[in-house]
Amino acid sequence: MRVMTLKGRDFISLHDWSRDELAEVLELAQWQKARLKAGIRDEPLKGKQLGMYFAKPSTRTRLSFEVGIRQLGGQGLFLSAQDLQVRRGESIADTARVMSRYLDGIMIRTFSHQEVVELAEWATIPVINGLTDEEHPCQVVADLLTILERFGRLEGLKLAYVGDGNNMAHSLMDGGAKFGMHVVVASPEGYKPDPARVLRAQMTAAQHGGKVEVVTDPVVAVSGAHVVYTDVWASMGQEDEAEKRKAAFAGYQVTAELMRHAAPEAIFMHCLPAHRGEEVAAEVIDGPQSAVFDEAENRLHAQKAIMTLTMA
Ligand code: CP
Ligand code: NVA
Instruction: CATH number of the domain at 234, please.
Output: 3.40.50.1370
Residue bearing the CA closest to ligand 1, atom 7: 59
Residue 2 included in any domain: no
Q: Looking at residues 189-201, what average pLDDT do you find?
A: 98
Domain with 95, as residue range(s), is 14-135+299-311
Give distance in angstroms: CA of 140 to centre of ligand 2: 12
Residue bearing the CA closest to ligand 1, atom 6: 58
Ligand minimally distant from the alpha carbon of residue 65: 1
Residue 4 included in any domain: no
pTM for the model stands at: 0.98
276 φ/ψ angles, rounded to the nearest 5 degrees: -65, 140
**Is pLDDT of 81 > 70?**
yes
What percent of the chain is predicted at pLDDT more than 90? 98
Ligand minimally distant from the alpha carbon of residue 107: 1
Kindly state whether residues 285 and 143 are assigned to the same domain.
Answer: yes
What percent of the chain is predicted at pLDDT more than 70? 99
**Is pLDDT of 39 > 50?**
yes
Kindly state whether residues 222 and 268 are assigned to the same domain.
Answer: yes
Tell me, using a 6 A CB cutoff, whether residue 232 lines ligand 2.
yes
How many beta carbons lie within 10 A of that of residue 91, not counting itself?
12
pLDDT tens for 116-158 read 999 999 999 999 999 999 999 999 999 999 999 999 999 999 9
**Is pLDDT of 3 > 90?**
no
Helix intervals (H) in the chain = 2-6, 19-37, 60-71, 92-102, 113-122, 137-151, 167-178, 195-207, 218-222, 242-248, 256-259, 282-285, 292-311
Q: Which residues are bridge partners to 202 per DSSP?
A: none
* Residues whose beta carbon lies within 6 Å of some atom of ligand 1: 58-61, 131, 139, 271-272
Residue 218 included in any domain: yes
Q: Which 8-state DSSP code applies to residue 156?
A: T
Q: Looking at residues 27-50, what average pLDDT do you find?
A: 98
Give distance in angstroms: CA of 304 to centre of ligand 2: 21
Residue bearing the CA closest to ligand 1, atom 2: 60
The per-residue pLDDT for 1 is 43
Q: Looking at residues 91-118, what average pLDDT do you find?
A: 98
Q: Looking at residues 108-122, what average pLDDT do you find?
A: 98
Q: Looking at residues 180-194, what average pLDDT do you find?
A: 98
Kindly state whether residues 189 and 262 are assigned to the same domain.
Answer: yes
Catalytic residues: 109, 136, 139, 231, 271, 299
**Is pLDDT of 2 > 50?**
no
**Is pLDDT of 47 > 60?**
yes
Task: List the 105-109 sheet strands across, edge first.
Answer: 75-80, 49-54, 105-109, 127-129
Give the atom of ligand 1 at the shortest distance from the alpha carbon of 64: 8
The per-residue pLDDT for 312 is 96
Kindly state whether residues 274 and 304 are assigned to the same domain.
Answer: no
Q: Looking at residues 263-276, what average pLDDT do you find?
A: 98
The per-residue pLDDT for 5 is 85
